[in-house]
């Protein structure tokens, strides 16, 4: 009796210990990522005030700039989407609330007896609303955040008399108008836009966004030192997410489990979340450029295109790696991978001041064309576009596809370099190439000399990726 009792206790203790151990294993696996050191720098009112000053310096006489915040979008019934601020509005104010409007004049103007060169309209604090949807800046908070003195509750705009008779040019951002609960008096974004249009129309002026786009792009395309700090942080966090994936990727995992791992690392490392929906596209899904369903199982022998970016203080990273699910690329996968990697290196060499924005793409295109012919995947030059279907670069910053003039490259600009080859099933080539989809993307900083690869914290060479994945596999066994 005593013996069986003891045995039972031993069994219970053993079961509890192994349960605890398995919990620890799961936790260790979950938490096995190196935390990115916290960044203590923040974008402050001086930064936003300086951006407004730089904008004013570019304005012709007799002009006004009008920048609207993003609207709060409704997801369904009374539930809202997470709020994402309009990047132009954020760049000039630092405010991350909906229902706001910024006005900047090239010369001081008198509005209802007060002289000003800029005015900001924000939502007044509403304790009831704050109880439901969170703290609001209110007038004083908006002054502090933006460094502006003339800040008004947005419902006051309707009755304000703006001296628009002397204005010749109106520059606006690409605002988004959503249906309003109270388009007349609510003071929400929709009513601000409507009242603004009416006031301008009375002065024979129009609210057209494209006139402002180049002006804003010209300022935003080259990054200031503080912006680069934010971008380095979002890139470092994204690198850590990649390392976590490399450490934990195994066949039979699902794409959404990989996505969950990535987004866990983003948030756990202090990012606001994803700068765009994460793309985890295995096997044939890799041929869908913006695949975000992330619902399939990872199959041994397949590759997985992972195109992801953290967002940190508004700034985006955008990095892609194509990983072998089983830890080793097949011979055909290696050949195409090396070609895309070579194209990325060539394009990066041409990403220098003085070259036109499209030169890196043209050089990547040429490299891929020559390689596809050599591998026998295409016969004619004109077939390249069937397999390399997108541009190589875009600007990166507050937007993933950031504002920029797409003219000549200049120091301080951050762009992506992301060639890709996609060979769908049924393509007119040897079936051994079918369903090989590869994209490799780095974020680079244009300098006076060679471009700096900001995302080289995550390797892209075949041997390095395989070594990391094999090493991890061995240590997990």
Q: Which residues form the interface with Mn ion (CB under 5 A)? A: 318, 416
Total residues at interface with ligand GLY (CB under 6 A): 4
Pick from 319, 309, 318: which is nearest to 272 by CA?
309
Minimum gap (Å) between residue 419 Cβ and ligand GLY: 12
Per-residue contact string for residues 257-286; x = within reach of ligand GLY by CB under 6 A = -------------------x----------
440 and 417 Cβ atoms separated by less than 8 Å: no
Q: Does residue 318 belong to the site contacting ligand GLY (CB under 6 A)? A: yes
Q: Given the complex with ligand GLY, which of 212 and 360 has the nearer CB atom?
A: 360
Instruction: Report the C-alpha gap between 318 and 306 in whole angstroms.
Output: 10
Only one residue has tokens 């937007």, namely 399
Q: Does residue 402 belong to the site contacting ligand GLY (CB under 6 A)? A: no
Instruction: Report the C-alpha gap between 403 and 441 in whole angstroms.
Output: 19
SS3 of 172, please?
strand
Instruction: Report the C-alpha gap between 245 and 231 in whole angstroms.
Output: 21
Only one residue has tokens 């605002």, namely 175
Minimum gap (Å) between residue 336 Cβ and Mn ion: 19
Minimum gap (Å) between residue 318 Cβ and Mn ion: 4
Q: Given the complex with ligand GLY, which of 195 and 439 has the nearer CB atom?
A: 439
Instruction: Report the C-alpha gap between 248 and 242 in whole angstroms.
Output: 10
Q: Does residue 413 belong to the site contacting ligand GLY (CB under 6 A)? A: no
Q: Given the complex with ligand GLY, which of 97 and 307 has the nearer CB atom?
A: 307
Considering CB distances under 5 to 8 angstroms, the limit depending on partner class, which of Mn ion, ligand GLY, none binds residue 136? Answer: none
Strand duo 114-122 + 101-111: pairing: antiparallel
Q: Given the complex with ligand GLY, which of 302 and 307 has the nearer CB atom?
A: 307
SS3 of 155, please?
helix
Instruction: Report the C-alpha gap between 322 and 246 in whole angstroms.
Output: 11
User: What residues contact 75, with CB distance under 8 A and at least 6 apart?
Assistant: 81
289 and 268 Cβ atoms separated by less than 8 Å: no
Beta strands (DSSP E) in 329-419 are: 414-417
Minimum gap (Å) between residue 321 Cβ and ligand GLY: 12
Minimum gap (Å) between residue 307 Cβ and ligand GLY: 5
Q: Given the complex with ligand GLY, which of 215 and 319 has the nearer CB atom?
A: 319
Residue of minimal CB distance from Mn ion?
Answer: 318
Q: Given the complex with ligand GLY, which of 243 and 439 has the nearer CB atom?
A: 439
Q: Given the complex with Mn ion, which of 195 and 394 has the nearer CB atom?
A: 394
Q: Given the complex with ligand GLY, which of 173 and 238 has the nearer CB atom?
A: 238
Minimum gap (Å) between residue 257 Cβ and Mn ion: 23
CA within 13 Å, CB half, 114: 11
Within 206-225, the residues that bind ligand GLY by CB under 6 A are none
Applying CB under 6 A, among 88, 236, 302, 307 the residue interacting with ligand GLY is: 307
Q: Given the complex with ligand GLY, which of 276 and 355 has the nearer CB atom?
A: 276
Minimum gap (Å) between residue 311 Cβ and ligand GLY: 12
Minimum gap (Å) between residue 195 Cβ and Mn ion: 38
Where residue 179 falls (left for φ over 0; alpha for ψ -120 to 50; beta otherwise) is beta
Instruction: Report the C-alpha gap between 118 and 50 in whole angstroms.
Output: 13
Pick from 185, 309, 140: which is nearest to 236 by CA?
309
Minimum gap (Å) between residue 400 Cβ and ligand GLY: 6
Q: Which two tokens stand for residue 249?
A: 């990727």
Considering CB distances under 5 to 8 angstroms, the limit depending on partner class, which of ligand GLY, Mn ion, none binds residue 443? Answer: none
Interacting residue ranges for ligand GLY, rule: CB under 6 A? 276, 307, 318, 400
């Amino acid at each position: 009796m005593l013996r069986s009792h003891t045995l039972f206790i031993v069994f219970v203790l053993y079961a509890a210990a192994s349960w605890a151990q398995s919990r620890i294993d799961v936790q260790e696996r979950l938490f096995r990522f190196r935390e990115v050191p916290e960044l203590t720098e923040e974008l402050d009112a001086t930064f936003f005030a300086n951006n407004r000053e730089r904008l004013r310096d570019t304005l012709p006489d007799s002009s006004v700039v009008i920048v609207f915040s993003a609207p709060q979008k409704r997801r369904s019934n009374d539930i809202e989407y997470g709020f994402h601020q309009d990047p132009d509005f954020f760049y000039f104010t630092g405010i991350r609330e909906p229902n706001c409007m910024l006005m900047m004049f090239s010369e001081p103007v008198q509005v209802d007896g007060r002289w000003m060169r800029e005015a900001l309209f924000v939502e007044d604090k509403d304790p009831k609303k704050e109880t439901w949807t969170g703290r609001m800046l209110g007038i004083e908070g908006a002054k502090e955040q933006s460094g502006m003195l003339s800040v008004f509750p947005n419902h006051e705009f309707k009755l304000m008399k703006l001296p628009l008779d002397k204005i010749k040019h109106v520059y606006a951002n690409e605002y988004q108008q959503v249906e309003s609960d109270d388009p007349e008096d609510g003071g929400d974004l929709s009513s601000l836009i409507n009242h603004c249009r009416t006031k301008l129309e009375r002065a024979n002026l129009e609210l057209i966004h494209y006139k402002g786009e180049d002006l804003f792009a010209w300022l935003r395309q080259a990054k200031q030192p503080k912006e680069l700090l934010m971008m380095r942080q979002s890139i470092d966090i994204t690198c850590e997410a990649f390392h976590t994936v490399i450490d934990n990727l195994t066949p039979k995992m699902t794409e959404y489990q990989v996505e969950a791992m990535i987004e866990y690392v983003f948030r756990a490392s202090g990012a606001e979340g994803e700068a765009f929906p994460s793309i985890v596209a295995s096997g044939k899904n890799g041929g869908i450029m913006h695949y975000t369903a992330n619902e399939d199982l990872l199959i041994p022998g397949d590759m997985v295109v992972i195109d992801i970016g953290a967002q940190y203080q508004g700034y985006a990273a955008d990095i892609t790696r194509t990983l072998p699910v089983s830890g080793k690329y097949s011979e055909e996968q290696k050949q195409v991978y090396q070609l895309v990697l070579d194209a990325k290196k060539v394009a990066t060499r041409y990403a220098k001041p003085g070259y036109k924005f499209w030169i890196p793409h043209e050089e990547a295109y040429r490299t891929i064309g020559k390689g596809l012919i050599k591998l026998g995947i295409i016969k004619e030059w004109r077939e390249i576009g069937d397999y390399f279907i997108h541009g190589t670069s875009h600007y990166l910053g507050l937007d993933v596809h950031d504002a920029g003039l797409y003219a000549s490259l200049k120091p301080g600009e951050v762009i992506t370099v992301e060639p890709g080859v996609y060979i769908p099933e049924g393509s007119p080539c040897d079936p051994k190439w079918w369903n090989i989809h590869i994209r490799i993307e780095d974020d680079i900083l244009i300098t006076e000399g060679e471009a700096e690869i900001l995302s080289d914290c995550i390797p892209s060479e075949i041997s390095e990726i395989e070594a990391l994945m094999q090493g991890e596999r061995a240590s997990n066994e």
